[in-house]
Amino acid sequence: MNQKWNVGNYDKDFKFVSEYTKDLIGMIDKEGVNLVLDLGCGTGEHLKQLSEFGNVIGLDMDEEMLTKALKKNPEVDLVLADATNFELDEKVDVVFSSAVFHWIDKKDQLKMLKAINQNLNSGGQLVFEMGGYGNNDLIHATFKELFEEFGYEYIKPFYFPTIGEYANLLEEAGFKVTYAVLFDRFTPLKGPDGLKNWIKMFLNNPFEIVSEEDREDLIDKGVKKLKVHLFRNGQWFSDYVRLRMKAVKDQAI
């Protein structure tokens, strides 16, 4: 993952990323939990909620994100590390993650899950949500077509698996899957330029190859084409599909 974040705008305009996690956090079984890791904690929106289960560690590879997380949560231990290759000072009882795994390259998914497994106590829980199969298909298909019209190749910088595909990876990494669901979540975006701002925040990797001259024109044409699908009653939306799963570290491994 090599995503550059506009940290200020992330909290200001995309707070929904953290606001949808209440039910996900509720999937954590409190029994025997003393230490929780928020993997990909970003600006630290979940850390306070997770502290009800015990002590919390936040891990992220973006130093600017962690700086903001520390200001919000000065009492929480924070770790600057890569999700695919980390080792904590002590093993945790729960690894929690929201809207992170789909940013990890497909080739690195098993490596990441094995790292998580190695940092969990026996029987420890992994509770997460990520983009799933079909996530933002309308947006990605539209920009793939427009990139070709402009003479560029659109490379989708995400991994959106099916339930079966990801369950197999979890099992290979030493987990037992206990819950899995794939569901649509048509998500409202903030403001009259909601979709345009979303594109600039989350699709900046594909646009790295686009010239400054073409960038705004390409984005504006994409927004115009998507309006018929993603603008309803004066509100912009994003066509999210989420994969939510829970697994436990297999005590036999």
pLDDT digits (tens, 9 = 90+) for 150-164: 999 999 989 999 999
Question: Where on the phi/psi map is residue 35: left (φ > 0), alpha (ψ -120 to 50), or beta?
Answer: beta
For residue 172, which of 110, 129, 121, 118 has the smallest C-alpha distance? 110
Question: Where on the phi/psi map is residue 54: left (φ > 0), alpha (ψ -120 to 50), or beta?
Answer: left
CA distance 127 to 124: 10
Neighbours of 88 (CB within 10 A): 18
CA distance 141 to 230: 13
> Which pLDDT score is estimated for 252?
57
Say which residues have a Cβ less than 8 Å from residue 17's Cβ, sequence separation at least 6: 10, 42, 45, 98, 99
Angle 225-230-232 from CA coordinates, rounded to 5°: 120
Residues (pLDDT < 70) of the chain are: 1-19, 251-253
Query: What is the rounded (10 degree) CA torsion for 96, 102, 106, 110?
Result: 10
> Which pLDDT score is estimated for 82?
97
First to last CA, the chain: 29
86-113 pLDDT, tens digit each: 999 999 999 999 999 999 999 999 999 9
224-250 pLDDT, tens digit each: 999 999 999 999 999 999 999 999 998
- Whether the CB-CB separation of 5 and 64 falls below 8 Å is answered with yes
Q: What are the structural domains of the chain?
A: 7-135+158-187+240-249 (3.40.50.150)
For residue 46, which of 16, 67, 82, 19 has the smallest C-alpha distance? 19
> Which pLDDT score is estimated for 7?
46
CA distance 143 to 222: 6
> Which pLDDT score is estimated for 21?
86
For residue 27, which of 45, 47, 58, 53 has the smallest C-alpha distance? 53
- Look at the alpha carbons of 101, 107, 108, 111 in this order and tell me if their dihedral is positive or negative: positive
Q: Which residue in this structure is represented by tokens 């000065």?
A: 74
Neighbours of 64 (CB within 10 A): 15
**H helices present in 107-154, as ranges:** 109-118, 137-150
